[in-house]
Amino acid sequence: MDEKMTYREAGVDVDEGNRAVKLIKPQIESTHRCGVLGDIGGFGGFFELDVGKYRRPVLVSGADGVGTKLKIAFMMDKHDTVGIDCVAMCVNDILVHGAEPLFFLDYIATGRLEPEKIADIVKGVAQGCREAGCALIGGETAEMPGFYGDNEYDLAGFAVGVVNKDRIIDGSKIKEKDIVLGIASSGLHSNGYSLARKILFDRGGLTVNTYIDELGRTVGEELLTPTRIYAAIVRELEGLEIHGMAHITGGGFIDNLPRILPGGLEFRINEGSWDIPPVFSILQKMGNVEKAEMYRTFNMGIGFVVVAPEEEADKVIKLCRNRGLKAWNIGEICRGEGGVVFCRR
């Protein structure tokens, strides 16, 4: 008689999945805010929208993942920060439209489910949600043996926010002579890691444990630095006249800034007007990367851009610095063919 087979023997352990849920429940509950209904374990997450707070509420959504930065987490066997990256990549995208983040859902797919590792990942997601002011109200953990390696996983997220229709920021108000303000990134954030890994590990022969004096830490520590979440400062900008905002992610300056630009205008960015962290010069030199490629692949030290009238520029910088964020006047809006032009002062 053929031996009876089970789901566990095929590589999926439902009991371990249930144990993972018990481990992550306190982290999820720590993110709850006004509007959350019910508890985890149902088929859907519930969030009650306070329609009295918004005259004409518009929901703004975003989805993203952490990308190959996860490879660094695998190499270091450190999994409690990539969840912050996941939240940041989603939340920062909806912040540019002036939206208040409301709730977040995550998706974790792995070759072999290890409850403690899942708990570490969700710990980071919960930390990111607390920083963003949104609730983690649901998600999915999928055990997929044969699809991912035993020690591998993928992580993606989905954020939903709300903004009054008449307060949507979409760049349409950007005009000539507006000031371009750059807010510092925390490092590479979560973009360009395929190139960064090729330069540092394949060409440079470095490891995650290699200490670099210019960085003041190891390669792994630098590369795993979590993506900065800009929710707190965007909330403080609500009282100012803001014409546009951009999240500098994949595509860098060159691809992201034009996304918010009306026709007949261009960004004039003043090179040398902000502090570029040493990790970028290390990558450029070690990989012999052309300048244009650097600005199209990496954030170059600017994670978030705000476009505002000249009279508001100093106020934006002051608010950022009061929050401990470095911010600079990095350029202006000019008449032109569109796109981004880099200038030397």
* pLDDT digits 0-9 by tens, 77-136: 999 999 999 999 999 999 999 999 999 999 999 999 999 999 999 999 999 999 999 999
On whether both 101 and 218 belong to a single domain, the answer is: no
Helices and strands per DSSP (H, E), number in the chain: 11, 14
The residues with which 138 forms a beta bridge, in sequence order, are 105
On whether both 161 and 196 belong to a single domain, the answer is: no
On whether both 303 and 186 belong to a single domain, the answer is: yes
Domain residues for the domain of 267 are 179-344
Q: Is residue 265 part of a domain?
A: yes
**In this structure, what DSSP letter does residue 202 have?**
I
Q: Is residue 20 part of a domain?
A: yes
Give me Rg for the CA atoms of the chain: 22
Give the mean model confidence (pLDDT) for residues 206-227: 98
On whether both 297 and 237 belong to a single domain, the answer is: yes
On whether both 222 and 122 belong to a single domain, the answer is: no
Contacts of 345 (CB under 8 A, 6+ apart): 270, 271, 272, 273
Phi first, then psi: give them for residue 120, nearest 5 degrees: -65, -45
Residue-wise pLDDT tens digits, 180-211? 999 999 999 999 999 999 999 999 999 999 99
Q: Is residue 23 part of a domain?
A: yes
pTM of the predicted model, to two decimals? 0.94
154, exposed or middle or buried, with CB in 10 Å at 0-12, 13-18, 19+?
Answer: middle
Contacts of 131 (CB under 8 A, 6+ apart): 84, 87, 229, 231, 232
Give the mean model confidence (pLDDT) for residues 294-323: 97
Residue-wise pLDDT tens digits, 11-35? 888 888 889 888 888 888 898 988 8
Phi first, then psi: give them for residue 231, nearest 5 degrees: -60, -45
On whether both 185 and 65 belong to a single domain, the answer is: no
> Tell me, what CATH number does 53's domain have?
3.30.1330.10
| Structure-token match 């518009």, residue found | 58
On whether both 158 and 201 belong to a single domain, the answer is: no
On whether both 21 and 142 belong to a single domain, the answer is: yes
On whether both 154 and 183 belong to a single domain, the answer is: no
HSE, CB side, 13 Å, CA atoms: give it for residue 294.
Answer: 21
On whether both 271 and 334 belong to a single domain, the answer is: yes
pLDDT recorded at residue 220? 98
> Tell me, what CATH number does 257's domain have?
3.90.650.10
Q: Which of 138, 167, 196 is the last residue of a domain?
A: 167
Q: Is residue 112 part of a domain?
A: yes
Q: Which two tokens stand for residue 5?
A: 């087979």
Q: Is residue 7 part of a domain?
A: no
On whether both 66 and 120 belong to a single domain, the answer is: yes
Residue with the bigger pLDDT between 219 and 54: it is 219
Residue-wise pLDDT tens digits, 133-185? 999 999 999 999 999 998 999 999 999 999 999 999 999 999 999 999 999 99
Q: Which of 144, 167, 190 is the last residue of a domain?
A: 167
Q: Is residue 173 part of a domain?
A: no
Q: Is residue 3 part of a domain?
A: no
Q: Which two tokens stand for residue 292?
A: 């244009």
Q: Is residue 174 part of a domain?
A: no
On whether both 156 and 208 belong to a single domain, the answer is: no
Task: Give the chain's domain count.
Answer: 2
Contacts of 28 (CB under 8 A, 6+ apart): 40, 122, 126, 136, 137
pLDDT recorded at residue 41? 67
Rounded Cα–Cα distance for residues 172 and 150 (Å) = 48
Q: Which of 104, 135, 167 is the last residue of a domain?
A: 167
